[in-house]
Amino acid sequence: MTARDARLHAFRSDLADIRLKGEVAADRFVAGRPARISAAVADIRKAPRPDAGVNTQLLFGDDVLVFEDAEGWAWIQSERDGYVGYVADTVLGGRDHAPTHVVSVPRTFLYPGPDLRLPLSGQLSMGSAVTVTGAAETRGTHYALLPSGEAIISGHLRPLGEPATDYVAVAEAFLGTPYLWGGASGFGIDCSGLVQLAMHMAGRQVLRDSDMQAATIGEPLDPGPDFAGLRRGDLVFWKGHVAVMTDPKTMIHANGHTMLVSREGFRQAVARIGYLYGGPTGFRRP
């Protein structure tokens, strides 16, 4: 049997993804049932308990495979990044409508109809996938209409298949967003979640956790003496942390120091972080 990362492969001693048969040991193998996230944000937990830690989050419209549904919890795998874990079964819905657009601003609102003066019916993060079925205009404001009858500002959407051209600019749009361990949305985000969501919006799918990103994104980079070779878009890794260079001297990252997505001088960050956690462990150019 081959060793597998349980974060990216659905297997337990009693149950496993049928695609892993012959590769892992389990009492029973099942095919995943297709489902889709129907909540604005869904926490993926380490265990099927409300007090279990959150490893990551999925967004409205994310497709998943469900391997088990029991006692209010579903054991799932994200089809976008392969992450495996437990979600409340109330966040799952069917795949009734093919998504047509993605939310392209950090946060936006849902209205019960095409009128911004109506009480809100919900909110969505950047990266959420929606199905647009129509359009409306009220007092000069343009809305996209959804199958639920709800409306969303049409300027806050981008058609699927039209990615952003600069993932760093996407990351910069999150400046001031609160830091949240395991967060992967415009409502709260962590360091590797920021990298993953920004790259997703630029049409590039990368793995979720910083150790995965440090091993797989782009190519390793030697920044040279005094880090002079760094440029916009390069990734800097510390143990358990990642930042994005916005220019040769400045970086952006979601961090526990400010508890925000913030800019910081690269050399100042190296000194500050090194005092507690050591220096950078690697650099990569996407």
Domain hosting 81: range is 16-93
Write down the pLDDT at residue 15: 98
Instruction: Read off the DSSP letter of residue 52.
Output: S
CATH of the domain at 148: 2.30.30.40
Can you tell me whether residue 243 is helix, strand or coil?
strand
Number of neighbours of residue 167 by Cβ within 10 angstroms: 22
> Is the entire prediction scored with pTM above 0.75?
yes
Rounded Cα distance between 51 and 113, Å, is: 36
Determine, yes or no, domain membership for 280.
Answer: yes
Q: Which of 110, 131, 159 is the last residue of a domain?
A: 159
Residues of the chain whose pLDDT is less than 50?
1
Predicted local distance difference test score (pLDDT) of residue 64: 98
**Count of positions (residues) in the chain:** 286
Distance in angstroms (rounded) separating the CA atoms of residues 238 and 259: 17
Looking at the structure, do residues 178 and 128 belong to the same domain, yes or no? no
Nearest to 170 by CA among 190, 191, 200, 192: 200
CA–CA separation, 31 and 195 (whole Å): 31
pLDDT value, residue 3? 75
In contact, 252 and 175? CB cutoff 8 Å: yes
How many structural domains does the chain have?
3
How many whole angstroms separate alpha carbon 217 and alpha carbon 205?
A: 10
Which pLDDT does position 273 carry in this prediction?
Answer: 94
Same domain, 110 and 151: yes
Domain boundary among 53, 73, 93: 93
Query: 224: domain CATH number?
Result: 3.90.1720.10
Q: What angle do CA 94, 89, 121 make, to 5 degrees?
A: 70
Asked if residue 263 lies in contact with residue 194, where contact means CB atoms within 8 angstroms, the answer is no
Q: Is residue 4 part of a domain?
A: no
Alpha-carbon distance of 212 to 51, in angstroms, equals 25
Task: Examine residue 43 and state whether it is found in any structural domain, yes or no.
Answer: yes
Residue-level pLDDT at 1:
46
264 shares a domain with 187: yes
Q: Residue for token digits 């889709």?
A: 36
Residues 143 and 179 in one domain: no
For residue 184, tell me if it sits in a domain: yes
pLDDT value of position 276: 85
In a domain, 2, yes or no: no
Type of residue found at 61: G
* Residue 6 included in any domain: no
- Paired with 142 in beta bridges are 137
What digits encode the pLDDT tens for the residues 146-157?
Answer: 999 999 999 999
* pLDDT tens sequence across 83-116: 999 999 999 999 999 999 999 999 999 999 999 9
If asked whether residues 178 and 233 sit together in one domain, one would say yes
Nearest to 44 by CA among 208, 177, 212: 208
User: How far apart (Å, rounded) are the C-alpha atoms in residues 192 and 56?
Assistant: 10
Q: Indicate whether 150 and 251 sit together in one domain.
A: no
My answer on whether 88 and 124 are in the same domain is no
